[in-house]
């Protein structure tokens, strides 16, 4: 059992747990709303609504999308990371950038581009492929980071003990990658549970699209929240699975900052096929949506660049994304600290609880905050702080996964050493812990910022009146069938996401200095 240094700071004993508890409690507000609203449906009525073929169909669709999407994302992410980090692939740095790029393309843009190209994607395999092409970077990035930090001496020891390269990979490398891969897979799973825009275009009905349809057709809030409670159950299942797979191991290692670069597998005559394969993959994941955006720009009669409209929208998007990214990262710190450094079933439970809300569609979270804010915090209603809070609640898991990934690898002993060398506790935190955490904090901020820049529903309902973002402007034009006019906004979204993507790419390779 480690004793975290922060815990011995006078106020740390209660401040960190209190902060973590308060943050997670705020995150659970939408869950409370869902249960409260669903409870207004009588038990018989609820039974009749939930136990019928349509719901079975939705559950089946949601379940197999999760399995297919998560597995394929893991395959894409892990293979890509291994090829880039551990083989003699030429121009590995460039390929790394290309493999991060899909993060900058909103899933709904990708969905539209694919449907415009071939209707074959409006099927189960097609849907799995398209969502995986959008979300695999959530697995790829942490896997790259873990491969970089992995100490090659472990592999050398295994090899020296007579293991063949393949065995070294499956028995040493893969288990060491597991936490990173699992964290990424969990994020992909949560996103798939809550995804709406892309699935609507791909014509793939899930629980989430059905929730939106309940609001949209029946204007029936209680029925929609009843479906949302089923979604929550699915999310709990996902969290339990990830926890089982993760196991109880501690992974900190002294000297994690100084791992030598691992030796790379020589591709030899496989170089050409691997490069071709990667090229084809990048063309599917990045080239196709980019080409479709350019086609709208060129062909659409309504295509025009109204800078007076675009610049404020872009400014707001950047500002909201940056602020929400920073706030979410700050909020993730105490929650992760509790879960990693004061590991108990309680602190782990608190951390897990923060994930549940992100499985809910944006409209449910937004309506929960509408209901709560207008009754108890009318002064905050439709103001900036409430909007940022909504973003944090929706996207906190992205920050949690990123921060956890680094904190798990920082041994508390380093701080203890700093203390014995005469550093104050604050000094130890500032000069030892924070620098080691920095890559994770950068990743967390960038991941949340990317999600915020494409968020639509909570923005429409909760933003101060008159606020426009690139996502709201894109939606406004696209829903009016003015794809030409919508394209510049989508393109601006993609371009603005490039810096965050570059930051992510660099920090995953330990270059964020």
Q: Exactly one of 210, 278, 340, 399 binds other proteins (CB under 8 A); which one?
A: 210
* Region near other proteins per CB under 8 A, out of 283-291, 391-399, 411-419, 479-487: 479-487
Asked if 275 contacts 431 with a C-beta cutoff of 8 angstroms, the reply is: no
Q: Exactly one of 99, 207, 321, 450 binds other proteins (CB under 8 A); which one?
A: 321
Q: Exactly one of 93, 427, 464, 495 binds other proteins (CB under 8 A); which one?
A: 464
- 510 interacts with other proteins by CB under 8 A: no
Quote the CA–CA distance of 480 and 285 in Å, as a whole number: 27
- 484 interacts with other proteins by CB under 8 A: yes
Q: Return the C-alpha torsion angle 193, 196, 197, 201, nearest 10.
A: 100
- The token pair at 444 is 């967390």
* Region near other proteins per CB under 8 A, out of 3-11, 124-132, 211-219, 263-271: 211-219
- 212 interacts with other proteins by CB under 8 A: yes
Quote the CA–CA distance of 205 and 417 in Å, as a whole number: 55
Q: Exactly one of 59, 318, 436, 498 binds other proteins (CB under 8 A); which one?
A: 318
- 379 interacts with other proteins by CB under 8 A: no
- 115 interacts with other proteins by CB under 8 A: yes
Q: Min. distance of Cβ 204 from other proteins in angstroms? A: 9
Q: Min. distance of Cβ 224 from other proteins in angstroms? A: 8
Angle at CA of residue 455, ends 66 and 496, nearest 5°: 110
Q: Exactly one of 482, 498, 502, 510 binds other proteins (CB under 8 A); which one?
A: 482
| DSSP letter string, 183-203 | HHHHHHHHHHHH--HHHHHTT
Quote the CA–CA distance of 402 and 115 in Å, as a whole number: 32
Asked if 229 contacts 387 with a C-beta cutoff of 8 angstroms, the reply is: no
* Partners of 87 in the β-ladder: 265
- 329 interacts with other proteins by CB under 8 A: no
Beta-carbon neighbour count of residue 218 at 10 Å?
11
Q: Min. distance of Cβ 217 from other proteins in angstroms? A: 5
Q: Exactly one of 53, 255, 261, 422 binds other proteins (CB under 8 A); which one?
A: 53
Nearer to other proteins, 82 or 483 (CB): 483
List C-alpha distances in Å: 64 to 58, 69, 390.
10, 8, 29
Site for other proteins in 431-460 (CB under 8 A): 457, 460
Nearer to other proteins, 177 or 442 (CB): 442
Q: Exactly one of 103, 278, 353, 370 binds other proteins (CB under 8 A); which one?
A: 370
Nearer to other proteins, 272 or 301 (CB): 301
Contacts of 186 (CB under 8 A, 6+ apart): 238, 239, 242, 355, 397, 401
Buried b (16+ CB within 10 A) or exposed e, 238-267: bbeebeeeeeeeebeeeebeebeebeeeeb
Site for other proteins in 257-316 (CB under 8 A): 299-302, 312, 315-316
Q: Exactly one of 12, 21, 63, 221 binds other proteins (CB under 8 A); which one?
A: 221
- 184 interacts with other proteins by CB under 8 A: no
Q: Exactly one of 175, 237, 273, 319 binds other proteins (CB under 8 A); which one?
A: 319
Quote the CA–CA distance of 374 and 414 in Å, as a whole number: 47
* Region near other proteins per CB under 8 A, out of 64-72, 234-242, 265-273, 370-378: 370-378
The helix/strand/coil state of 366 is helix
Contacts of 432 (CB under 8 A, 6+ apart): 414, 415, 418, 423
Token look-up 């994302």 returns 73
Q: Exactly one of 87, 88, 213, 271 binds other proteins (CB under 8 A); which one?
A: 213
Report the interface residues with other proteins, using CB under 8 A: 49, 52-54, 115-116, 119, 200-201, 203, 205, 209-210, 212-221, 299-302, 312, 315-316, 318-323, 326, 363, 366-367, 370-371, 374-375, 378, 381-382, 384, 457, 460-461, 464-467, 472, 476-477, 479-484
């Amino acid at each position: 059992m480690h004793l975290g240094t922060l815990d011995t700071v006078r106020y740390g004993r209660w401040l960190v747990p209190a902060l973590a508890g308060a943050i997670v409690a705020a995150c659970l507000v939408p869950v409370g709303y869902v249960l409260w609203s669903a409870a207004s449906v009588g038990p018989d009525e609820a039974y009749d609504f939930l136990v019928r073929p349509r719901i079975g169909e939705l559950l089946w669709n949601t379940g197999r999308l999760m399995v297919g999407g998560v597995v394929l994302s893991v395959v894409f992410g892990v293979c890509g990371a291994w090829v880039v980090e551990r083989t003699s692939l030429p121009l590995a740095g460039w390929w790394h950038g290309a493999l991060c790029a899909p993060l900058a393309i909103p899933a709904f843009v990708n969905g539209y581009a694919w449907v415009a190209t071939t209707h074959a994607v409006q099927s189960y395999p097609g849907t799995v492929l398209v969502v995986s092409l959008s979300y695999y970077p959530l697995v790829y990035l942490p896997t790259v980071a873990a491969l970089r930090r992995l100490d090659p001496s472990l592999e050398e020891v295994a090899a020296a003990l007579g293991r063949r390269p393949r065995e070294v990979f499956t028995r040493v490398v893969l288990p060491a990658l597991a936490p990173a891969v699992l964290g990424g897979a969990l994020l992909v799973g949560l996103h798939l549970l809550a995804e709406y825009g892309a699935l609507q275009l791909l014509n793939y009905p899930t629980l989430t699209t059905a929730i939106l349809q309940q609001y949209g057709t029946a204007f029936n809030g209680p029925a929609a929240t009843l479906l949302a409670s089923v979604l929550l159950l699915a999310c709990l299942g996902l969290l339990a699975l990830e926890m089982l797979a993760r196991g109880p191991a501690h992974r900190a290692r002294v000297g994690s900052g100084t791992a030598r670069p691992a030796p790379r597998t020589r591709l030899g005559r496989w170089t050409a096929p691997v490069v071709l394969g990667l090229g084809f993959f990048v063309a599917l994941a990045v080239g196709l949506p980019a080409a479709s955006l350019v086609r709208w720009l060129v062909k659409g009669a309504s295509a025009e660049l109204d800078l007076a409209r675009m610049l404020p929208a872009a400014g707001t998007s950047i500002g909201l994304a940056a602020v929400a990214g920073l706030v979410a990262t700050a909020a993730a710190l105490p929650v992760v600290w509790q879960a990693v450094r004061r590991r108990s079933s309680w602190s782990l439970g608190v951390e897990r609880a923060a994930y549940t809300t992100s499985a809910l569609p944006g409209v449910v979270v937004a309506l929960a905050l509408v209901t709560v804010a207008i009754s108890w915090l009318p002064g905050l209603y439709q103001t900036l702080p409430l909007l940022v809070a909504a973003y944090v609640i929706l996207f906190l898991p992205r920050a949690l996964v990123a921060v956890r990934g680094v904190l798990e690898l920082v041994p508390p002993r380093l701080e203890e050493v700093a203390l014995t060398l005469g550093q104050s506790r604050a000094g130890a935190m500032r000069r030892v812990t924070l620098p080691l955490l920095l890559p994770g904090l950068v990743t967390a901020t960038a991941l949340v910022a990317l999600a915020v820049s494409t968020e639509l529903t909570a923005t429409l309902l909760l933003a101060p009146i008159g606020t426009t973002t690139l996502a709201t402007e894109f939606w406004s034009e696209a829903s009016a069938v003015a794809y030409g006019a919508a394209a510049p906004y989508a393109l601006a979204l993609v371009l603005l996401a490039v810096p965050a993507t570059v930051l992510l790419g660099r920090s995953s390779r330990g270059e964020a200095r």
